[in-house]
Amino acid sequence: MKGLTLLRNGTTEDLEVRDDLAIPFFGDDEVLVKVSASTLNRVDQVLIRGYPGLALNFPQVLGADIAGEIAEMGKNVSGWKRGDKVSVYPLVACQQCALCQEGKPNLCEHFNYFGMHRPGGYAEYVPVPARNLASLPAGVDAAAAASIGVAGITALHALNMNNDLKPGSSLMIWGATGGVGTLMIQLAKLRGLEVIATTRQQDQAETLGRLGADHILDSNDEKIMEKVGALYPSGVDQVIDYVGPATFPTSFQLLKKGGTMTLCGILTGMETTLSIHQTYFRHLRIQGVYLGTEQEYHELLALLAAKSITVPIAARHPLSTGKQALQDFGHKNHLGKVIIEAS
């Protein structure tokens, strides 16, 4: 089968489109999904460089998001049939660790992730545990369903983790033109929040406004602190930061007393310094978020089906140009998700 593989850790030059890959093995409790759509995520760039503490199984097929149809089924699988159109909750929990037993499988100590610990969606076929499958609702296409995997559950979980948010609360998102940002704006507006979106792409400001962003600022503006301060003199209730050390000090300064900083990415590095004094003195909460729950994934599918949220599509690529898609990712003037169409 055809697939986009990473041959070794390094750069996007170490990606290779191959058409001689074996169709992957699937277990008795798994199905083999014929992939229609997968999407690029920022984690791909971290995986290509080398994910901290993780050894990939080279040649590794990347791709955490999956939508397609069931091609084959393991002998223990029931309730599904060949040809069913499905999408996939991207986190595979072990079902056995203490956290899984506590009913928190999204915090599983031994979780697996497509395109990281197991084969991913940038290929014609991918094995998927049956318990991770969701039926594709009527009116939701594969590209949209794939897009709400990693990005959607991260965005929704970041909001659900903060019980202090009320209509009128303020939320700031760095780099709002990406998958997490474009979905986060819409999910925040459904809750009546005020949204400050930043982007380096000022020609995308109008589209961010159409998605619901109340204030759109230039990420590179040296006066961004003053501008947000003018809008919210007491500070912002929640800042979503997947950029990392480059934006952390500004995010920290901009928080309201009692505010929440949500960390969900390491694009510019893994470590930063933190004022312990300011953290307790201002009652700040630093919240890490990594994906979300299966229930949140189903909630997002329902929101898509009801047309309460939409997925802006920046570009569509067949597998054959997937390497180019990853080379362009984060550099081109994109808004929304970049789709890899396997068939």
Residues that bind Zn ion (CB under 5 A): 93-94, 97, 100, 108
Nearest CB to Zn ion, comparing residues 100 and 140: 100
Considering the complex, what minimum distance in angstroms separates the CB of residue 89 from Zn ion? 14
* Alpha helices, DSSP H, located in 86-167: 98-101, 142-147, 153-160
Considering the complex, what minimum distance in angstroms separates the CB of residue 103 from Zn ion? 11
Considering the complex, what minimum distance in angstroms separates the CB of residue 224 from Zn ion? 40
Nearest CB to Zn ion, comparing residues 103 and 233: 103
Considering the complex, what minimum distance in angstroms separates the CB of residue 97 from Zn ion? 3
Considering the complex, what minimum distance in angstroms separates the CB of residue 110 from Zn ion? 5
Cβ atoms 15, 48 nearer than 8 A:
yes
Q: β-strand 313-318 against 285-288: which pairing, if any?
A: unpaired
Render the burial of 118-135: b for 16+ CB within 10 Å, e for the rest.
bbbbbbbbbbbbbebbbe
Q: Which amino acid is at 93?
A: A
- Write the CB contacts of 223 (distance below 8 Å, at least 6 apart in sequence): none
Considering the complex, what minimum distance in angstroms separates the CB of residue 293 from Zn ion? 13
Nearest CB to Zn ion, comparing residues 94 and 306: 94
Nearest CB to Zn ion, comparing residues 117 and 215: 117
User: For tokens 């000090």, what's the residue?
Assistant: 249
Nearest CB to Zn ion, comparing residues 93 and 148: 93
Nearest CB to Zn ion, comparing residues 296 and 328: 296
Q: Which residues pair with 315 in a beta bridge?
A: 338
In angstroms, the CA 199 to CA 178 distance is 9
Strand 3-6's sheet: what is its strand order?
15-18, 3-6, 60-61
User: For tokens 């008795």, what's the residue?
Assistant: 28
Phi and psi for 84 in degrees, rounded to 5? -60, 135
Nearest CB to Zn ion, comparing residues 7 and 94: 94
Considering the complex, what minimum distance in angstroms separates the CB of residue 111 from Zn ion? 6
Q: How far is Cα of residue 168 from the mean position of the Cα atoms in its chain?
A: 25
Considering the complex, what minimum distance in angstroms separates the CB of residue 298 from Zn ion? 20
Nearest CB to Zn ion, comparing residues 27 and 258: 27
Cβ atoms 200, 171 nearer than 8 A:
no
Q: Name the nearest CA neighbour of 61 among 47, 77, 79.
A: 47
In angstroms, the CA 88 to CA 131 distance is 9
